[in-house]
A and B are shown apart, each in its own frame.
Chain A
């Protein structure tokens, strides 16, 4: 494996250091949801201290995605109805929106495209988790949402050398992510892992982000990594938020055996992803009034 020139690696570390931290609110919510003494009111109060985030959390809670029978208008109601786990995940989703919504020129992704791709992967991961009856569909959603966060960090490096990376992929018949490694000395999965560690995200999320292109190389064979791998493959295949790296992606087909899936299952998943994306909530709109 090629290693990066020291000064380039230094630049990457600096870029990651310059990325915004996870908002204090999310860090607190993550901690609170682990604490059995926490109640819905106190979580709602913490989220409400950040108005923009509160608005997004409510918006996500009211999206067709959760299929609530009626509109939820207050945060504490949302916490009670959706549960701590979901609220925690909504807070993480809401807080990473700004980063993921950026233009990622290195990958030829216009503003909003990486967010769409991330959302499609999140939806796909949740559907796959449900299909294989894993009781962690919420975690799958967040893992899918964050898997490509490293692209934000290595964007400028890729932009400078996109042509060389693509050429290397074609010449050596390797995936784009491996060509990133060959040309730059690092890749977006590794960079994403560093961001996840900086944010003190749970170990499963760090592993998913780091190994989502090659679940088989992960030291721990957490099924969540394979779930996100497959969801990523489906989102890319569907062209949702597809960039200049196109479909130069290595699909570990053992994933299908692992999940006992066949072609028809993948078609079915694709269709559901498309349906849910059509109903997906737009976070770009003006935040609505938030009542605690």
Chain B
């Protein structure tokens, strides 16, 4: 029997085996990062809130910040039997307040996306697909069967973003 887990803000969830589903609900400027090792079917998701951790605040919720979230998730996945070198990634979120002709100082969504991409690159994990930016809320799901990543726009359509377990999934789009 698989489990269905919700990944709250700043949380990391890792599951192993088929039949599990990880979900991040209501991604605004936050980024949901999906990581998957197809060989052992270890799936991980982290709900990143802000780009950068501050030295005095690391510890309680490493998943909150892009720079600490990726290493912490990888570590949890490796502890569950995954190999860091087999991991593939897909991300969604990073929305911004709609720009009404003026520049916005509240650009945390864009900074988050940038920081997550950089952290993945640093970890050497190929980023196969991303659905970031815009002014919509998103819901992100990762299926542990095959690494299928599904994004739903709140109030809009659902679409398959990537299958991280596909044999064709080898190179990155933006890493």
**B109 closest partner in A (C-beta):** A237
A248 and B153 alpha carbons, distance in the complex (Å): 14
- Which of A233, A245, A250, A253 contacts B155, CB < 8 Å? A245
A262 and B97 alpha carbons, distance in the complex (Å): 17
Q: Does B83 contact A (CB under 8 A)?
A: no
Nearest chain B CB to A248's CB is how many angstroms away?
5
Contact with A along B69-107 (1 / 0, CB 8 A): 000000000000000000000000101111011101110
Q: Does A156 contact B (CB under 8 A)?
A: no
Q: Does A171 contact B (CB under 8 A)?
A: no
Q: Does B123 contact A (CB under 8 A)?
A: no
Report yes or no: B155 in contact with A162, Cβ–Cβ below 8 A: yes
Nearest chain A CB to B66's CB is how many angstroms away?
12
Nearest chain A CB to B7's CB is how many angstroms away?
12
Query: Considering residues A166, A237, A243, which has the most beta carbons from chain B within 10 angstroms of its beta carbon?
Result: A237
Which residues from 65 to 115 on chain A have a C-beta closer than 8 Å to any C-beta of chain B? 107-108, 113
Q: Does B30 contact A (CB under 8 A)?
A: yes
The contact size tier of chain B is: 20 to 34
The contact size tier of chain A is: 35 or more
Q: Does A20 contact B (CB under 8 A)?
A: no
Q: Which residues of B contact A263 (CB under 8 A)?
A: 105-106
Report yes or no: A250 in contact with B28, Cβ–Cβ below 8 A: no
Report yes or no: B95 in contact with A238, Cβ–Cβ below 8 A: no
**B156 closest partner in A (C-beta):** A244
Q: Which residues of A contact B137 (CB under 8 A)?
A: 239, 242-244, 246-247
Query: Can you list 13 contacts pairing A with B, beta carbon distance less than 8 Å?
Result: A175-B98, A239-B27, A239-B28, A239-B93, A244-B155, A247-B28, A247-B135, A247-B136, A248-B98, A250-B100, A267-B50, A274-B49, A278-B10
Query: Which A positions have Cβ atoms within 8 angstroms of B?
Result: 107-108, 113, 162, 166, 173-175, 233, 236-251, 253, 256, 262-263, 266-267, 270-271, 274, 277-278
Query: Which B positions have Cβ atoms within 8 angstroms of A?
Result: 8-10, 26-30, 49-50, 57, 61, 64, 93, 95-98, 100-102, 104-106, 108-109, 135-137, 154-156
Please name 11 further chain A to chain B contacts, defined as beta carbons within 8 Å, in addition to the given A238-B29, A239-B26, A246-B137, sorted by A numbering.
A107-B155, A239-B28, A239-B93, A239-B95, A242-B137, A243-B154, A245-B155, A248-B135, A249-B97, A253-B105, A266-B108
